[in-house]
Structure 1
């Protein structure tokens, strides 16, 4: 059985990250996009590279290839998440470099799922977020029923406005074995980049209940 994973994204404060790691997320995300209010900024690369209890994801938007490789090296990234118009050949090169690759897409009514086909074989996961000009972090939810139209077998992360008050609904409505991980960000914050640990703790408990229920049902 594939256990549902969770990712906490948009971290940039070392003390806050320490508290978040205590919740045992599977993935934590650092945003390397300068226009984001959650830009990793002055977070110590040495501190980030020392983290070993969660997979470290670097989030990039149309970044120069060399910048991505340098971040992988400096921050000890295990995963690269691409949120822009990156091509499959970059995804392939990054995988050959030794990291896993997540390719993100903004989903809305009428989304053309066929554009994902060119990435099959060159990514490990897709990520489905709410379509927004800001490349994620909008706090807005898209229509999860659109996921029923997803035609491929590549597992995916699900993001976009996920909050404590809609998480239980999401877990009941998106009954898809290809759903690999829940990705939370802006709806679990005190301010951009500083997570509300108690809210996250409650979300983790809901996810744990869901995992237990799935194990019983299977």
Structure 2
């Protein structure tokens, strides 16, 4: 029997909402440092974020500079980094070497996606994240056809993201692939961008 997936709740911003989310015991929480995103964090409470324990605090970047990434992760003492843009293998390697943190490399998936292009990333990413391919780098609330993951040829474990909601959460959680490491919950569990609906999250996690 495969290990059950862990839970990542992404796109957080407000301390009171973060506190409620943490009461649900997710293994990862994510903070978006992409200014064009409706979930862009702006200025977080530094001491509050630094003080969060027993959860992997993940900083999400889209085509950011190495300097920006290093500055942010040091400032808030993040535990993991999600690279959600068109970051090259060499850039991922630089981020890994500069920070020493867990690297999650995201890819937008559609029916034509060529999984072979991931091979060079195997040595520089701790996990992959598969999201629905859009022009806005995630947070679209749209689901891709998970059947395409049958073509994924590598052993590297991955996060499943993209349009997961109350209706399809159980299907995602029980998806038959031993490489599935985590379920990423975001826009479909919100009251407004950056504010998670705790009731919806509780309903899903009860399942």
With structure 1 as the length reference, what TM-score do the two structures score? 0.91
Query: 1:211 — aligned with what?
Result: none
Q: Note the alpha carbon deviations across 1:152-200, whole angstroms, 9 max, x for none.
A: 110000000000111122334x200000000000000000000001111
User: Contact 1:38/1:192 (CA < 8 Å) preserved in 2?
Assistant: yes
Q: Match of 2:78?
A: 77
C-alpha distance in 1 between matches for 2:178 and 2:24? 24
Q: Report the alpha carbon displacement of residue 2 of structure 1 after superposing the two structures with TM.
A: 3.2
Task: Give CA-to-partner distance per residue, 1:70-103, whole Å, 9 cap, x none.
Answer: 1110111111100111111222222222100000
What is the CA–CA distance in structure 2 between the aligned matches of 1:46 and 1:73, rounded to whole Å?
A: 12
Partner SS for 1:94:
helix
In 1, Cα distance between equivalents of 2:189 and 2:198: 8
Tell me how many residue pairs correspond in the alignment.
205
After TM superposition, the structure 1 = structure 2 runs for residues 1-218 of structure 1, keeping only pairs within 5 Å, are 2-96=3-97, 97-172=99-174, 174-206=175-207
Contact 1:95 1:122 in 2 (8 A): yes
The question of whether the paired residues in 2 share the 8 Å contact of 1:164 and 1:202 is answered with yes
- The answer on whether the counterparts of 2:172 and 2:183 sit within 8 Å (CA) in structure 1 is no
Q: Unaligned regions of 5+ residues in structure 2, if any?
A: none
Residues 27 and 56, structure 1, Cα contact 8 Å, conserved in 2: yes
Cα distance between partner residues in 1 of 2:55 and 2:4: 15
Residue 164 of structure 1: SS of its match in structure 2?
A: coil
Distance 2:158 2:206 in 1: 21
Moved more, 181-190 or 36-45: 36-45
2:168 alignment partner, SS class: helix
Structure 1's consecutive aligned runs of 4 or more residues displaced over 2 angstroms after TM superposition are 93-97, 169-172
Unaligned runs of 5+ in 1: 207-218
Partner-residue secondary structure (3-state), 2:49: helix
